[in-house]
Structure 1
Amino acid sequence: MKSIVIGAGIAGLATAIRLRVKGYEVKVHEANNYPGGKLTAFQQGGYRFDAGPSLFTLPYLVDELFELSGKNPKDYFDYIKLDTACHYFWDDLTIFNASTNPKEFAKEAAKVFSVPEVEVLDYLKYSHKLYEYNSPVFLEQSLHKIKNYLKSHVGKALLRIWQFNLGKSMHRVNAQKFSSKKLVQLFDRYATYNGSNPYKAPGVMTMIPHLEHGIGTFFPKGGMHEITQSIFKLAKDIGVEFQFESYIDEIIVDDHKATGVRLDTGKEEFADLVVSNMDVVPTYRKLMPTQKAPERTLKQERSSSALIFYWGVKGEFKELNLHNILFSNDYKGEFDSIFNKKSLQSDPTVYINISSKYNPTDAPKGCENWFVMINAPADYDQDWDQLIDKARKMIYDKIHTSLGIDIKPLIENESVLDPRLIQSQTSSYRGALYGAASNNPLAAFIRHPNFSNRIENLYFCGGSVHPGGGIPLCLLSAKIVDELIE
């Protein structure tokens, strides 16, 4: 039995491994000359940067790939659990160092935000329960197979559907849970974990904080790119074949069955099944232009994208940790600008990731590698050069206001990633980081499934399909594809 995987992103790699374990011959075609998609890295003037995702949760999903393959994960990949999830900063000089320990988190939050400790603990318990009920139903299986709704654990979860807050926005739920506006803002930010607007995203997404404060936040030894490197090595070790700089022109469909692919060279390769790790929109538009496309699904609102500045910085800053957030003073206005005006607000929330805090070789001695990101709209032909110049100045100002640091003269070198590059480098439609946004209660159900309803033997994995974007969900998409294939 032969299978073809289109794209060597994290979900494509995981799917290839799972298919190989199933006994398939697996060939992966990747347009770039490297694996990993967004999860890659680069060197810049003595600094190393992870180019894409910077947060690592649910590491068991990575370990599971090695265990399925009969390998010891520690022979390929290792990581540490972090004591601190994130350092938060506001312009009024409020600072909150968020522990990954729920009791410590609640104790510190009570002190910093003048709220009862029990208020915070109750929220974390609520988030835990919500995750416990929802994850097996909405994240770990296909939502598009009727048989899955007949499982006992699904029935138990659906009996509690009134607790899922599907009819309320994430912000509304958080505003009802907390007496502190800063805590509301802190927990609203978890909507950005799948590129959504907390003022529109369903309240069920308040389960996301449990990933960090219940299960834990982790750091891969060597940096985030080690996730890609280790899985890629595993795939090769168990016999997955890779073809880089390989461009697919078409998915061959014969009598409503996917039978292979046609390369840009004209060569045809045939297989018993085809899995696309390419964004679902270009999969239909470019690789299957003659097939009927699910237009309602493909026209869903896009998730947010990002503007990222990679800075080599002279100096070390003890007040900063691996993950740092400098909050906007107008959070609602920020999301209105991103999703409605397709632009940037003058006071953006700034995320700073510094992997050299845990991997010192990522920067020269006495220096730090700053991955500086603001949420941005998807690409609708904005003047990105002008927006990049504007964003750079706004970030300088934000860092000076929140941290008291004049960062501009300390920057030794810079690279920039914008939605145009994200689209050209990873085929993510409009540069959206997570495919469709989850800005309505039915978002999970109208997201593209992991299989085709019209074309037999055609499957989909990755951040643009169910269950969504981000490393854990991409790995879960591969697991769902695995379970769908007989």
Structure 2
Amino acid sequence: MGNNAIIIGSGIAGIAASIRLANKGYQVEVFEANAYPGGKLSEIEIQGYRFDAGPSLFTLPEQVEELFRISGKNPDDHFQYIKLPVVCHYFWEDGTRLNAFADLDQFAQEVEQQLGEPAVHVHAALERSSYIYQHLAPLFMHRSLHRFGTWVNKDALKSYFRMGKLGVFSTMNRANEKHFQNPKVVQLFNRYATYNGSNPYETPATLNIIPHLEFNIGAFFPNKGMHDITLSLYRLALDLGVKFHFGQKVEEILVENGQAAGVSIKGTRHTAELVVTNMDMVNAYKTILRKQKQPKLLLNQPKSSSALIFYWGIKKDFAELDLHNIFFSENYREEFSHIFQKGTIYHDPTVYINITSVYKKDDAPEGCMNWFTMINVPNNQGQDWDRLIKEARKNILKKLNRILQTEVESLIEVEDILDPRTIESRTSSANGALYGNSSNNKYAAFLRHANFSSEIKNLYFCGGSVHPGGGIPLCLLSAKIMAEMIPEGK
């Protein structure tokens, strides 16, 4: 009989952790409070329309494929995806439109033709993004920042001498304003701060690493939708013998003699040699680790932004819209000031619309589209969300009507809404923040919880609220970093 491990939560990192530990010889059980796996990476279906409920951008697919390979399976037999020919369609109020082509030369030419920004500036920006990735990814994305060996290996030593060029001492906006002439191009590249719920006017320029993933490597779409990432990995875990228990809310992590000993659910003890929590780190300490020493510095860090999402079934096909579409605010700085300083929603928000039916036709009835319509909003601090949602819906519709020259509301056939309150209740994310602690200062990377507990032996952490951060690739890497710390099961 091998060692056994308990994982709390079946978000994408929890599923990945179960696969990695099963491959190490552990008997793995996953306890999930919800009735389904995937956490934020789930789906909803309403009257013939299917929506991916949460993350909508897919990068670094090799992180998914690796989980199949280490399990002795060919990824192509279990999970298929395509590379997008156009990464995103951009729209501005003055009628300017831009297609962000996946082909770098084509994209740079499009920026020059539509916005007058020299193509060489775009190429130079993506080369800088590649440079940051090359020097920081091995250090920040693939290793624990909380182990001595990370800081004395050759990758780290190389990076110490490049901190200025890596953007540590500047903000994302300042770096982009320095390198681009057209404010619209600055805005386009500032947008990448939202990928981890940050403010481009405060977050370090190191986050200019993100365009590298999207352009130099590529953006992708799973053939069966984003939810297939969850389902394919869930099936893989089941094949490896992982046991999932749904509707089972963990009440406490049991700690005996300074060591994790299992979990308690409805008064019943479930023992294990090691425990992994995929739960939001802040809420985990407030609930299932409430009796343990609290890492107050980390718990008190400002949280990332949240989201307000309208799932709209639209009874029309818009030829000018693609999988990813952005309708920019006229005053980006003011929009972020409202989110992070004022804790409210700007009257002219940037609107993101994800439409999977462009590639997956059965996600909407014929001649219709499934609009995942999202704006960035503050996390939940007790605002009057009912009023804010009503106002935001009205402002979003006005904006889309102006830019698309149409009457959107009359086309809405079905509607569902996700707001910071429901994000918090469904995914146990502290304050409904999408990415845990915010990254709005240069030390943010060091203010994420480690993938292990320094106080409790055999207790480990994975998911978007701990190192290395939020978003699908980083969540999968958190499981990998965590699993590499654990010895082989007997």
TM-score (norm 2): 0.98
SS at match of 1:311: strand
Cα deviation 1:83-121 (Å, max 9, x = unaligned): 100000000010000011111111111111112211111
Which one of the candidate residues 114, 121, 124 is aligned to 2:123?
A: 121
Matched with 1:69 is 71
Residues 7, 278 of structure 2: 8 Å contact kept: yes
State the alpha-carbon separation in 1 of the partners of residues 486 and 403 from structure 2: 51
SS at match of 2:287: helix
List structure 1 segments (4+ residues) > 2 angstroms apart after TM superposition: none
Q: Does 1:352 align with 2:381?
A: no
> After superposition, where does 1:29-428 map in structure 2 within 5 Å?
29-264=31-266, 266-428=267-429
Give the letter for the 1:290 counterpart.
K
Matched with 2:450 is 449
Give the letter for the 2:11 counterpart.
G
Q: CA RMSD in A?
A: 0.7
State the alpha-carbon separation in 1 of the partners of residues 106 and 121 from structure 2: 13
State the alpha-carbon separation in 2 of the partners of residues 484 and 390 from structure 1: 48
Unmatched tracts of structure 2, length 5 or more:
none
State the alpha-carbon separation in 1 of the partners of residues 101 and 221 from structure 2: 15
Shift, 1:405, TM fit: 2.1
State the alpha-carbon separation in 2 of the partners of residues 293 and 324 from structure 1: 42
SS at match of 1:343: coil
Matched with 2:483 is 482
State the alpha-carbon separation in 2 of the partners of residues 115 and 178 from structure 1: 7
State the alpha-carbon separation in 2 of the partners of residues 455 and 128 from structure 1: 38
Unmatched tracts of structure 1, length 5 or more:
none
State the alpha-carbon separation in 1 of the partners of residues 213 and 192 from structure 2: 10
Work out the number of aligned pairs and report it: 485
Residues 6, 274 of structure 2: 8 Å contact kept: yes
Q: Does 1:12 align with 2:14?
A: yes
Residues 117, 185 of structure 2: 8 Å contact kept: no
State the alpha-carbon separation in 2 of the partners of residues 206 and 402 from structure 1: 28
Give the letter for the 1:446 counterpart.
L
Give the letter for the 1:197 counterpart.
N
State the alpha-carbon separation in 1 of the partners of residues 216 and 279 from structure 2: 32
State the alpha-carbon separation in 2 of the partners of residues 362 and 288 from structure 1: 41
State the alpha-carbon separation in 1 of the partners of residues 209 and 325 from structure 2: 21
Out of 248-257 and 192-201, give the one that drifted further.
Answer: 248-257
State the alpha-carbon separation in 1 of the partners of residues 373 and 385 from structure 2: 17
Cα deviation 1:349-400 (Å, max 9, x = unaligned): 0000000000000000000000000001100111111111111101101101
Residues 9, 30 of structure 2: 8 Å contact kept: yes
Out of 26-35 and 404-413, give the one that drifted further.
Answer: 404-413
State the alpha-carbon separation in 1 of the partners of residues 445 and 117 from structure 2: 34
Matched with 1:472 is 473
Cα deviation 1:31-76 (Å, max 9, x = unaligned): 0010000000111011111100000000000000000000111121
Give the letter for the 2:188 counterpart.
L
SS at match of 1:315: coil
State the alpha-carbon separation in 1 of the partners of residues 407 and 200 from structure 2: 31
State the alpha-carbon separation in 2 of the partners of residues 117 and 340 from structure 1: 35
Give the letter for the 2:416 counterpart.
S
State the alpha-carbon separation in 2 of the partners of residues 340 and 110 from structure 1: 34
Shift, 1:162, TM fit: 2.1
TM-score (norm 1): 0.99
SS at match of 1:463: coil
State the alpha-carbon separation in 2 of the partners of residues 216 and 152 from structure 1: 28
Give the letter for the 1:191 counterpart.
A
SS at match of 1:162: coil
